[in-house]
Amino acid sequence: MNSTIAMITFRSMLGRKRALLLLGLPLILLVLAAILRMTGNNDLDVSSGVLQQFGLATLLPLLALIAGTGVIGPEIDDGQIMYVLTKPIPREVIVLTKLVVAIILVTVFAVVPTLLSGLVLVGTTAEVTPAFTVGVLVGGVAYSAVFVALGVASRNAATIGLLYALVWESLLGSFAPGAKSASIQQWSLSVTDALTSASPVESSVNLTVAITLLIVVTAVAAFLAAFRLRSLTVASAD
């Protein structure tokens, strides 16, 4: 990991308009949790549904998309990445640094708000809060790796990421069991399901399979991002 690249990336992410999105989305979850708590509509079923549908299924992929594509995509689009590529820094280090920054952003703006919202809603009842916190964290790592790879590979990374998160995972997942099972959301939910006794939390994917796929997808995405970044250098030199 390169601290200089990390610092520049953090400054870029937190100094642009996307920072408002990074702040706005978790605030909605926190406000919703507070309203449900104050109105007494925070039973276990409702709270689990909010953390799953809003936290895990909506907030997490959108924030990971903003962070994952934002840490490197704009630099490639405007050519600023070439300044970094001219330095004697291994491409793997550049990708790892960008990925770490994306994961930290997702942790701050998705994992922590999920934890706080869960505590507001149900505390630690049935281990729902820690379960969703861990689920969002492992899902955030995988989403970040995939979206960083998309940011390196395509100028349309945000559009592709939205199609995956909203169409494949949400829309098609509601009708096609195969699509539902082949999603980071379900793999993360499987981890969540294993950590809580709450009956509303249920995944269609076996825990061992889910963990294996999360690791494989994260590793493959990081490798492909580094490979593609190396290709960009060769193309520019030509």
Question: pLDDT grade, residue 148 (50/70/90)?
Answer: very high
Question: pLDDT grade, residue 173 (50/70/90)?
Answer: low
pLDDT above 50: residue 175 = yes
Question: pLDDT grade, residue 178 (50/70/90)?
Answer: low
Which residues fall within 8 angstroms of residue 49, CB to CB, at 6 or more apart? 200
* Gap between the Cα atoms of 3 and 24, Å rounded: 27
Mean pLDDT of the chain: 86
pLDDT confidence of residue 174: 56
Which residues fall within 8 angstroms of residue 27, CB to CB, at 6 or more apart? 113
pLDDT confidence of residue 136: 96
* Gap between the Cα atoms of 16 and 122, Å rounded: 35
Instruction: Compute the average pLDDT of residues 171-183.
Output: 65
pLDDT above 70: residue 27 = yes
Residue ranges making up the domain that contains 80? 3-237
114 vs 162, residue with greater confidence: 114
**How much of the chain is in helix, strand and coil states, percent to nearest 5?**
85, 0, 15
pLDDT confidence of residue 216: 96
* Gap between the Cα atoms of 8 and 170, Å rounded: 34
Instruction: Compute the average pLDDT of residues 155-177.
Output: 74
pLDDT confidence of residue 159: 86
pLDDT above 50: residue 238 = no
Instruction: Compute the average pLDDT of residues 93-120.
Output: 94
Q: How many structural domains are present in the chain?
A: 1
Instruction: Compute the average pLDDT of residues 122-145.
Output: 93
Give phi and psi for 40, each to the nearest 5.
Answer: 75, 15
The percentage of residues in the chain with a pLDDT greater than 70, rounded to a whole number, is: 91
* Gap between the Cα atoms of 6 and 94, Å rounded: 9
pTM of the complete model:
0.90
End-to-end, the C-alpha distance of the chain in Å comes to: 28
Which residues fall within 8 angstroms of residue 121, CB to CB, at 6 or more apart? 33, 36, 37, 42, 47, 50, 51, 129
Task: Encode 168-194: b = buried (16+ Cβ within 10 Å), e = exposed.
Answer: bbbeebeeeeebbbbbbbbbbbbbbbb
pLDDT above 60: residue 237 = no
Among 85-89, 123-127, 133-137, 232-236, the minimum mean pLDDT is found in 232-236
pLDDT tens digit sequence for 58-89: 899 999 999 998 888 777 777 777 777 777 78
pLDDT above 70: residue 19 = yes
* Gap between the Cα atoms of 142 and 200, Å rounded: 24
pLDDT confidence of residue 130: 94
The percentage of residues in the chain with a pLDDT greater than 90, rounded to a whole number, is: 44
pLDDT above 80: residue 236 = no
C-beta atoms surrounding 74 within 10 Å: 16
pLDDT confidence of residue 172: 61
